[in-house]
Amino acid sequence: MRVPTLLGVTAAAALAVAVPASAGTVHDVDVIAHGLDNPRHVAVSQDGDVYVAEAGRGGDHVAKRSCFDSAEGFACTGDTGAVTKVWRHRWHYDQDRVIEGLASFAPLDKGNAIGPHGVFVSGRDVFVTNGGPTAPTRGTGTPAPVVLRDPTLVAEEPVSRLYGTLLSTRKHRGTPRVLADLWRFEKENNPDAQVGNPQVDSNPVDVYADRKGFVVADAGGNSLLRVSERGRVSVLALFPNIPTPDPFDGSTVPMNAVPTGVVRGRDGAYYMSQLTGYPFPVGAAKIFRVDPRTGASTTYAGGFTNAMDLDFGRDGTLYVLEIDHDSLLAPGREGAIWAVPRGGGTPERVELPAGTLIEPGGIAVGRDGDLYVSTHSREAGAGQVLRIELDR
């Protein structure tokens, strides 16, 4: 699928919005890709091309070859996950799905899908994390019986074998190969059981590649995982639950960390964003700095709500993306971008017109300093990628 998007035709009216200098002043916003299925994280290659992971639209609810009850509702598996490449061609942008056929599940309305989520481009290679279901169940009983990926879901729908994996392929199309089976590592080791999470749950949502291999943010496993070039998986850092008041009944619940993004800073450390689990409290999400040798973590910045992704600018500014600024439990759908000054400090919001960031799913900083952000990340067919140009 190749779709041209004319520059300026779908541009948002975001000219010269006054914001604090350290946060950057927005000069313009353009829609450079559209029609995406539940778009999540974004990556920019060295040549300036933009890649976005699409979680897909699940499978056919009529055929019902592999369906189950999930945290997203009653959902069915399909091979609709993808990665789309976006590039500038003269006076417009083109988009083309360069990876297709990845595992995806979604409710009947095809929104809120789980599938490809993290994407990283290095040289000629594209690396993708394919997420997976959290303790899918079938039948009656309290609790209802869990159906695991292996052997049940794979036997019903072979593409399910990609759930909970790290994949690799070439930039210009190719058949993805499994670099690491993170779900199997979770099944055999279940590291976060020691912090009170006994379910077998692996939902890898981001990946960073470096000379030592890969670092994966596993939202289901509440961990950062180290993956060697040969696919050996180990725990780099594990994040405990935080006792948190339930806003509905006042009880205390164990809120999961839910890692969502990982990047490396100039100091060689890894920086991780967190969504937080239920009850998704306002201001509770943090950015953690993780020592690459010991895995020890410290808070780099805080006060965020449902942080979904992050990336560093060339000047050391850390941009943090919130999928929902007033919490996933609140009725609004507006996200936000925050700029953390180099070395840490008080985050400042990048001001954008209302309606610009509807449930954004990923952010990446280009070589030119522009921000590339996916929006409508929990909708099928309505997803977009924005180019947010900052004044320089």
Mean pLDDT, the chain, whole residue set: 92
The predicted structure's pLDDT at residue 184: 97
The predicted structure's pLDDT at residue 357: 97
Task: Inform me whether the pLDDT recorded for 11 exceeds 70.
Answer: no
Handedness of CA 285, 288, 294, 295 (dihedral sign): positive
Q: Render pLDDT for 254-267 as a digit per residue (tens, 0 to 9).
A: 999 999 999 999 99
Q: How far is the C-alpha of 359 from the C-alpha of 382, rounded, in Å?
A: 11
Contacts of 123 (CB under 8 A, 6+ apart): 46
The predicted structure's pLDDT at residue 162: 98
The predicted structure's pLDDT at residue 386: 98
Q: Which residues pair with 336 in a beta bridge?
A: 322
Q: Render pLDDT for 277-305 as a digit per residue (tens, 0 to 9).
A: 999 999 999 999 999 999 999 999 999 99
AA letter at 60? D
Task: Inform me whether the pLDDT recorded for 17 exceeds 50.
Answer: no
Paired tokens of 105 = 């599940």
> Can you tell me which residue has the tokens 């942080």?
307
Residues 135-160, mean pLDDT to the nearest whole number: 92
Paired tokens of 44 = 């920019």
Residues 198-204, mean pLDDT to the nearest whole number: 94
**Full 3-state SS string of 40-55:** EEEEECCCCCEEEEEC
Task: Inform me whether the pLDDT recorded for 90 exceeds 90.
Answer: no
Task: Inform me whether the pLDDT recorded for 7 exceeds 80.
Answer: no
Report whether 50 contacts 368 (CB < 8 A).
no
The predicted structure's pLDDT at residue 271: 98
Q: Render pLDDT for 96-108 as a digit per residue (tens, 0 to 9).
A: 999 999 999 999 9
The predicted structure's pLDDT at residue 212: 86
179-184's contacts with Cβ under 8 Å and 24+ in sequence apart are: 179/127, 179/214, 179/227, 179/231, 180/214, 180/216, 180/227, 180/231, 180/232, 180/233, 181/231, 181/233, 182/129, 182/216, 182/218, 182/221, 182/225, 182/227, 182/233, 183/132, 183/149, 183/150, 184/150
Q: Which residues pair with 225 in a beta bridge?
A: 216, 235
Q: Render pLDDT for 359-380 as a digit per residue (tens, 0 to 9).
A: 999 999 999 899 999 999 999 9
The boundaries of the domain holding residue 340 are 5-390
Which of these, 38, 36, 26, 37, lies nearest to 93 by C-alpha position? 36
What are the distances in angstroms from CA 326 to CA 216, 283, 310?
Answer: 27, 9, 18
Residues 199-216, mean pLDDT to the nearest whole number: 95
Q: What is the CATH number of the domain that holds 250?
A: 2.120.10.30
Paired tokens of 155 = 């036997």
Task: Inform me whether the pLDDT recorded for 355 exceeds 50.
Answer: yes
How many domains does one find in the chain?
1
Task: Inform me whether the pLDDT recorded for 6 exceeds 60.
Answer: no
Question: Given the DSSP bridges, would you call strands 252-255 and 242-245 parallel, antiparallel or unpaired?
Answer: antiparallel
Task: Inform me whether the pLDDT recorded for 2 exceeds 50.
Answer: no
